[in-house]
């Protein structure tokens, strides 16, 4: 009856489609409960009436940004925004380590005090009468501790969480039958712990099986476990039955480490070398795949009912690192010149930290002139001695020592203190959670599978684009050789011949009782192409090293036949800083002395080599042309593991990335050599366009047929004389006066096209003239200055160490130019 009124009523009663969809959407996800098919006006009325109640009382609101008090009422204050990176807070706890979901983790916090033994701890002297116990196994013994599920090489990492495996943590140790039960209670499900099984084969004798690196079937070397319910004045024997290395420092006097909690709490005694009747031998029980080796030792515990720990070397966990970095971040002085950043997240989601250490520069030019030094550690998680050297370096470089201030003035230090936090957390010896040795995959393209080393290499690559990297050093541990030494890379450039050996020689002079230059090696083997040392060297870092520190001790000087302590390793971190100052001293006396000494040592080595071969050679002539790799032995004595390649589940991913890389790789065009050539190519392209247009036009029909018969047209056009160029305008006028039916000859058309081309170029690019000779800047003052190196004055680098007490003090200008 009233169509207009009906239409208006329909518009008022029908809901808006978009609002109806959104209310359905919110209701589905639990953010709104109420009618959905209401008009817009009704919705606005409801919102106006209930806005306050929704904000204060509604359980429908699920925002995490509003703060609630204890009574559940909404506080008008918003939460503090999350940091872009999860860094430390002085009021908040440390970041809890993330474990693979297969790993059970006990809730106890394990902490050890640092302690320096008052007397040197000497090597064990074998007597030759050490017992070789027969391996019994669980068939004749009693299993007193065993991990339920250990990820092997048949599986791979999928996910992680804080605390590891969900559910109730089982008690793996046996239950004591009473106070007289003297069975030891074992445990290793804590950070960096490693023990898979313990079998009691006699009253005080136990056989221990180490857990392999997760998602592999090998790399058993690192051990770290706890025993409880000890008895005093009783000799216990422990035998580890599944070690894989045929050679070990335990054969030449190395002792295991023991820690007593009662001694630590009552006498402040920490880790110490203990053990007697130490023997390292081959296991006779073969499994048909690979031979195993055994380590056996006896010990007497100092207290009854004590809790003790055993370890391959002084543990340094991911939590220990975070505690140290927290103290740096909370220091008002150190935080001014040490910037803590996240390099990346590991496979399990643990933070890989990057420290940038340098003093603020007075000017941007001075900041740009600083060279860089890159130091990394713990790519192999079981080599905790690398962390102790790193801690000594950080303690010194962050101190207020004049030498430390000088180093911060002239260098930018990039430090990655723990490259493989996942492996450190789970107690691996060599691998990451990818089940592979990261120090064989520095050339990887799998960013998601090897994030730590991929981002480290990328960081160094960007750093090299910005400034010179003077030195790269990766801190490792060594299980078969004593002392501390370096692996480097021979330089083939005769201009810098033997220069890569100067820093190690200087370090041996600064730490003569710890560092052995004769144990250093500079040969680059094919199997080491994927190591950090070789990859960084091929990227352009001349002084690229792997520092190997022994698990044992020293055979040099005053420390001969004694074990290294954490203080010894930390002192080497100081010596690295000291050697850096000697290496960069503007007074090149020390450098040249070391270079001359290296040449003499090399002559002796060559003479020795030829004498072994039964040949004579005149070393006065061409001895310096002999390849250093030919006279140097390989690093087969190092703790090297051949790369196992990629895991099976990553092979397809790598193939796909390689195919995409080839697909999107653009074919490189040959660059033009001069502006003249660019002009000629530009003219050719325009001639082709003009000829195409003329060919299509009716007036140019005659010329088109002629053009097809003359293949040398472009050659003729390029060699057009300058006299034709001068007559361009008259010919253009002549063309305008011609009849439409008149056809042009090839030579005249060529001149016409060149004329039009030139006029169009001048219209599009004012000031650009068609010239065969390129423009050159004749003003030498406007030429770009060559790369300037820092002009270090003599007073900034004292000639002697004793003169380093006075350092240049810069004003506290906050001009940070970090990469």
C-alpha distances out from residue 779 to 448, 783, 784, 787, Å: 52, 7, 11, 19
Closest-CA residue to 568 (of 546, 545, 551, 582): 551
Residue 548 annotated as catalytic: yes
C-alpha–C-alpha distance, residues 427 and 103, integer Å: 11
Ranking 425-434, 545-554, 680-689, 727-736 by mean pLDDT, the lowest is 727-736
CA 429, distance to chain mean position in Å, is: 18
C-alpha–C-alpha distance, residues 272 and 257, integer Å: 5
On whether the CB atoms of residues 549 and 385 are closer than 8 A, the answer is: yes
* For residues 520-548, average pLDDT: 93
* For residues 652-657, average pLDDT: 60
* 690 against 508, higher pLDDT: 508
Ranking 246-250, 354-358, 622-626, 800-804 by mean pLDDT, the lowest is 800-804
C-alpha–C-alpha distance, residues 152 and 235, integer Å: 35
Q: pLDDT value at position 671?
A: 58
Q: Mean pLDDT over all residues of the chain?
A: 77
* For residues 295-324, average pLDDT: 96
Query: Per-residue confidence at 283, pLDDT binned at 50, 70, 90?
Result: confident
pLDDT at 722 over 50: no
Q: In this predicted model, what pLDDT tens digit does every residue of 180-230 receive, in sequence order?
A: 899 999 999 999 999 999 999 999 999 999 999 999 988 899 999 999 999
Q: pLDDT value at position 658?
A: 61
Q: In this predicted model, what pLDDT tens digit does every residue of 136-175 receive, in sequence order?
A: 888 889 999 999 877 777 788 999 999 999 888 888 888 8
Q: In this predicted model, what pLDDT tens digit does every residue of 377-415 receive, in sequence order?
A: 999 999 999 999 999 999 999 999 999 999 999 999 999
pLDDT at 93 over 80: no
Q: pLDDT value at position 796?
A: 40
> For the whole model, what pTM was predicted?
0.70
The domains of the chain are located at 142-311, 318-610
Task: Find the catalytic residue in 191, 207, 548, 690.
Answer: 548
On whether the CB atoms of residues 774 and 567 are closer than 8 A, the answer is: no
Give percent above pLDDT 70 in the chain: 66
Q: Where are the alpha helices (DSSP H) in 220-362?
A: 261-267, 318-329, 334-337
Count of alpha carbons within 13 Å of 93, Cβ hemisphere only?
Answer: 4
Query: Per-residue confidence at 27, pLDDT binned at 50, 70, 90?
Result: confident
* For residues 508-533, average pLDDT: 93
C-alpha distances out from residue 146 to 43, 47, 226, 506, 774, Å: 64, 62, 13, 49, 80
pLDDT at 307 over 90: yes
Which tokens belong to 749? 């058309």
Q: What angle do CA 491, 493, 495 make, to 5 degrees?
A: 115
* 798 against 257, higher pLDDT: 257
Burial 62-95 (b: 16+ CB within 10 A, else e): eeeeeeeeeeeeeeeeeeeeeeeeebbeeeeeeb
Query: Per-residue confidence at 639, pLDDT binned at 50, 70, 90?
Result: very low
pLDDT at 791 over 60: no
On whether the CB atoms of residues 299 and 293 are closer than 8 A, the answer is: no
Q: pLDDT value at position 664?
A: 57
Query: Per-residue confidence at 47, pLDDT binned at 50, 70, 90?
Result: low
* For residues 668-677, average pLDDT: 62
Closest-CA residue to 307 (of 226, 192, 235, 238): 226
On whether the CB atoms of residues 346 and 455 are closer than 8 A, the answer is: no
Closest-CA residue to 553 (of 562, 544, 540): 562
* For residues 93-121, average pLDDT: 91
Where is mean pLDDT largest: 180-189, 624-633, 783-792? 180-189
Which tokens belong to 539? 């990227």
Q: Mind spelling out the 3-state secondary structure of 81-144? A: CCCCCCCCCCCCCCCCCEEECCCECCCCCCCCCCCCCCCCCECCCCCCCCCCCCCCCCCCCEEE
Q: Which CATH class is domain 318-610?
A: alpha beta
On whether the CB atoms of residues 396 and 404 are closer than 8 A, the answer is: yes
46 phi and psi angles, rounded to 5 deg: -65, -40
C-alpha–C-alpha distance, residues 457 and 451, integer Å: 10
- 142-311 maps to CATH 3.40.50.920: no
* 22 against 142, higher pLDDT: 142
C-alpha–C-alpha distance, residues 697 and 740, integer Å: 11
C-alpha–C-alpha distance, residues 35 and 43, integer Å: 9
* Sign of the Cα pseudo-torsion (332, 333, 339, 342, in order): negative
């Amino acid at each position: 009856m009233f169509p207009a009124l009906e239409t208006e009523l329909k518009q008022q009663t029908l809901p808006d489609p978009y609002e109806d969809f959104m209310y359905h959407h919110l209701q589905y996800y639990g953010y709104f409960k109420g009618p959905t098919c209401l008009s817009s006006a009704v919705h606005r009325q409801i919102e106006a009436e209930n806005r306050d109640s929704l904000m204060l009382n509604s359980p429908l609101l699920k925002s995490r940004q509003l703060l609630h008090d204890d009574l559940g009422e909404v506080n008008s204050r918003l939460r503090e925004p999350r940091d872009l990176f999860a860094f430390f807070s002085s009021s908040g706890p440390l970041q809890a380590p993330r474990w693979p979901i297969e790993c059970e983790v006990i809730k106890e916090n394990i902490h050890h005090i640092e302690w320096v033994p008052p007397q040197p701890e000497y090597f064990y002297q074998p007597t030759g009468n050490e017992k070789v116990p027969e391996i019994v196994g669980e068939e004749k013994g009693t299993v007193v501790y065993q991990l339920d599920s250990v990820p092997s090489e048949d599986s791979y990492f999928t996910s992680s969480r804080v605390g590891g495996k969900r559910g109730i943590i089982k008690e793996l140790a046996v239950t004591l039958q009473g106070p007289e039960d003297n069975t030891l209670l074992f445990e290793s499900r804590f950070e960096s712990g490693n023990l898979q099984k313990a079998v009691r084969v006699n009253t005080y004798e136990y056989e221990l099986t180490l857990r392999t690196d997760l998602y592999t079937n090998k790399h058993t070397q690192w051990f770290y476990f706890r025993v409880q319910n000890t008895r005093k004045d009783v000799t216990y024997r422990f035998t580890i039955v599944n070690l894989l290395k045929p050679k070990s420092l335990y054969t030449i006097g190395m002792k295991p480490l023991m820690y007593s909690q009662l001694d630590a709490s009552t006498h402040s005694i920490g880790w110490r070398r203990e053990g007697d009747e130490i023997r390292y031998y081959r296991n006779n029980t073969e499994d048909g795949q690979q031979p195993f080796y055994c380590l056996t030792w006896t010990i007497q515990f100092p207290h009854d009912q004590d809790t003790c720990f055993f370890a391959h070397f002084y543990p340094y966990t991911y939590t220990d690192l975070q505690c140290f970095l927290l103290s740096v971040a909370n220091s008002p002085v150190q935080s001014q010149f040490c910037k803590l950043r996240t390099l990346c997240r590991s496979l399990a989601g643990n933070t890989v930290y990057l420290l940038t250490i340098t003093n603020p520069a007075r000017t941007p030019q001075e900041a740009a002139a600083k060279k860089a030094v890159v130091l990394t550690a713990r790519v192999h998680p079981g080599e905790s001695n690398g962390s102790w050297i790193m801690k000594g370096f950080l303690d010194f470089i962050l101190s207020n020592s004049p030498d430390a201030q000088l180093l911060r003035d002239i260098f930018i230090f990039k430090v990655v203190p723990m490259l493989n936090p996942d492996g450190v957390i789970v107690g691996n010896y060599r691998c990451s959670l990818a089940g592979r040795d990261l120090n064989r995959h520095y050339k990887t393209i799998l960013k998601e599978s090897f994030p730590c080393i991929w981002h480290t290499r990328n960081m160094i690559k960007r750093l090299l684009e910005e400034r010179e990297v003077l030195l790269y050093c990766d801190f490792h541990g060594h299980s078969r050789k004593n002392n501390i030494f370096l692996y480097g890379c021979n330089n083939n450039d005769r201009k810098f011949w033997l220069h890569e050996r100067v820093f190690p020689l200087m370090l041996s002079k600064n730490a003569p009782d710890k560092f052995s230059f004769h144990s250093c090696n500079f040969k680059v083997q094919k199997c080491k192409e994927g190591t950090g040392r070789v990859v960084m060297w091929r990227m352009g870092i001349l002084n690229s090293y792997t520092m190997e520190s022994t698990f044992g001790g020293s055979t040099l000087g005053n420390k001969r036949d004694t074990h290294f302590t954490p203080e010894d390793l930390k002192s080497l971190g100081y010596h690295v800083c000291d050697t850096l100052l000697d290496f960069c001293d503007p007074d090149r006396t020390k450098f040249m002395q070391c270079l001359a000494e290296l040449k003499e040592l090399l002559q002796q080595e060559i003479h020795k080599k030829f004498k072994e071969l039964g040949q004579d050679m005149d070393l006065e002539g061409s001895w310096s042309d002999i390849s250093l790799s030919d006279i140097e032995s390989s690093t087969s004595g190092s703790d090297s593991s051949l790369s196992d390649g990629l895991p099976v589940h990553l092979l397809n991913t790598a193939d796909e990335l390689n195919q995409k890389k080839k697909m999107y790789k653009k074919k490189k065009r040959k660059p033009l050599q001069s502006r003249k050539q660019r002009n000629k190519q530009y003219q050719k392209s325009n001639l082709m366009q003009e000829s195409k247009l003329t060919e299509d036009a009716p007036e140019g029909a005659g010329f088109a047929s002629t053009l097809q018969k003359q293949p040398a047209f472009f050659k003729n056009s390029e060699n057009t004389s300058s006299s034709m160029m001068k007559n361009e305008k008259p010919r253009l006028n002549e063309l305008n006066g011609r009849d439409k039916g008149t056809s042009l000859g090839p030579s005249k058309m060529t001149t016409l096209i060149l004329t039009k081309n030139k006029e169009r170029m001048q219209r599009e690019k004012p000031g650009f003239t068609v010239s065969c000779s390129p423009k050159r800047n004749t003003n030498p003052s406007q030429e770009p200055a060559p790369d300037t190196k820092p002009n270090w004055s003599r007073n900034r680098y004292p000639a002697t160490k004793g003169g380093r007490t006075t350092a240049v003090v810069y004003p506290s200008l906050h001009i940070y130019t970090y990469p």
